[in-house]
């Protein structure tokens, strides 16, 4: 195991997928164990895998998609989204202490949020072990876990001040279970014009835009909307950045080999691309 030290405060949010008891760090950070003796070894790359017994991880992002996500996000093209998440997370009462990023990918956004919240700890839960490997090194106060957003989350009840879901699956019942009273879900979803200059000309799968009503319907009756803010900016992308943008998304898997490169030849050397994202806040219902 070569990853950074496991943050014990972040580990304290986790629950054993077998018996649902709390976990503690054991063997100097080599793994976790619960009071019933169920033990999870930490991967060499630093992440943990906490799936219900007998469950294989769902299909998460591939190694290539994760590499493209790292390149695209670290170039700063989605920094306004990170700033919008920072504002949304900071709203609503005292500074949050515990953040959970569900489908959190490489931990890029969570790391920036933790930088702004010096007393907070965070967890990245993602189906992709390639993403979890990156997330394990995203921030010293973050712990990365391979988990399935559609199963029972490997988290204790009422431990999260904020759950983040950024372009990822959301499970309303489980999110409501793990939020503390007064906690908030912050969810980022693409608006209908998101990436229009790329999606249209490349004939990419048009991801069904998450209409506010449909999003609220998928989260109810567990969570109720508090507010939603539209964020729209232009990213100036060269062809290589467009290629990584496409490569990190769901479109990549559906394009025939070589099709993207051929299409990009017809693109201008630099393209102004609309990024259009709604950031909504939800509170536990009732
Ligand atoms: C579009 S990416 C967004 C990643 C990250 N939130 C970000 O904005 O950089 C969607 C993420 O959801 C993850 N994912 C897909 N299905 C999942 C599931 N059932 N449980 C957990 N994560 C899942 C993928 O592996 C991927 O990292």
Query: Mind listing the pLDDT tens digit for each residue in 174-200?
Result: 999 999 999 999 999 999 899 999 988
> What CATH number is associated with residue 169?
3.40.50.150
The DSSP code for 222 is: T
Q: What would the pLDDT profile of 79-89 be if each residue is shown by its tens digit?
A: 999 999 999 99
What pLDDT does residue 17 have?
A: 96
CB 232 within 8 A of CB 274: yes
- Tokens at 181, concatenated: 């009273």
Residues 6+ apart with CB under 8 A from 142: 7, 10, 107, 110, 111, 114, 121, 122, 123, 124, 135
Within a domain: 121: yes
Within a domain: 2: no
Within a domain: 139: yes
Dist. CA 102–CA 104, nearest whole Å? 5
What pLDDT does residue 82 have?
A: 98
The average confidence (pLDDT) of the chain is 92
**Ligand 1 site, residue 60, Cβ cutoff 6 A:** yes
Position in ligand 1 atom list of the atom nearest CA 108: 9
Within a domain: 58: yes
User: Looking at the 3D structure of the chain, how many domains does it have?
Assistant: 1
Dist. CA 106–CA 4, nearest whole Å? 15
Q: What would the pLDDT profile of 123-158 be if each residue is shown by its tens digit?
A: 999 999 999 999 999 999 999 999 999 999 999 999
- Tokens at 15, concatenated: 């629950």
What pLDDT does residue 220 have?
A: 87
Phi/psi class of residue 84: alpha, beta or left (left: φ > 0; alpha: ψ in -120 to 50)? Answer: alpha
Which residue range is the domain that position 201 belongs to? 8-284
Band of pLDDT at residue 215, cut at 50, 70 and 90: confident
Band of pLDDT at residue 261, cut at 50, 70 and 90: confident
Please compute the mean of the pLDDT values over residues 32-50 and round it to a whole number: 96
CB 97 within 8 A of CB 120: yes
Phi/psi class of residue 20: alpha, beta or left (left: φ > 0; alpha: ψ in -120 to 50)? Answer: left
C-alpha of residue 254 to centroid of ligand 1, in Å: 17
C-alpha of residue 187 to centroid of ligand 1, in Å: 13
């Amino acid at each position: 195991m070569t990853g950074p030290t496991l943050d014990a405060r972040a580990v304290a949010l986790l629950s054993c997928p077998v018996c649902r008891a709390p976990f503690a760090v054991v063997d100097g950070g080599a793994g976790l164990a619960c009071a019933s003796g169920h033990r999870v070894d930490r991967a060499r790359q630093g992440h943990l895998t906490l799936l219900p017994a007998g469950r294989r991880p769902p299909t998460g992002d591939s190694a290539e998609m994760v590499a493209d996500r790292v390149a695209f996000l670290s170039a700063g093209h989605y920094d306004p989204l990170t700033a919008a998440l920072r504002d949304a997370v900071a709203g609503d009462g005292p500074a949050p202490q515990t953040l959970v990023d569900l489908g959190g990918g490489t931990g890029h956004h969570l790391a920036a949020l933790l930088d702004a919240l010096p007393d907070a700890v965070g967890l990245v839960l993602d189906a992709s072990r390639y993403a979890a490997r990156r997330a394990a090194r995203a921030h010293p106060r973050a712990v990365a876990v391979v988990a399935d957003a559609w199963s029972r989350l490997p988290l204790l009840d009422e431990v999260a001040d904020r759950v983040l879901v950024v372009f990822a699956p959301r499970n309303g019942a489980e999110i409501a279970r793990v939020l503390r009273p007064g906690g908030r879900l912050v969810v980022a979803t693409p608006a209908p014009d998101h990436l229009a200059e790329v999606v249209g000309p490349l004939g990419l799968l048009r991801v069904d835009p998450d209409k506010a009503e449909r999003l609220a319907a998928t989260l109810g009756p567990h969570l109720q909307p508090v507010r939603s803010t539209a964020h729209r900016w232009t990213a100036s992308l060269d062809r290589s950045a467009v290629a990584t943008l496409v490569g990190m998304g769901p479109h990549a898997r559906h394009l025939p080999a070589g099709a993207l490169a051929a299409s990009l030849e017809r693109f201008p050397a630099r393209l102004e691309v609309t990024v259009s994202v709604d950031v909504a806040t939800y509170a536990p219902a009732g």
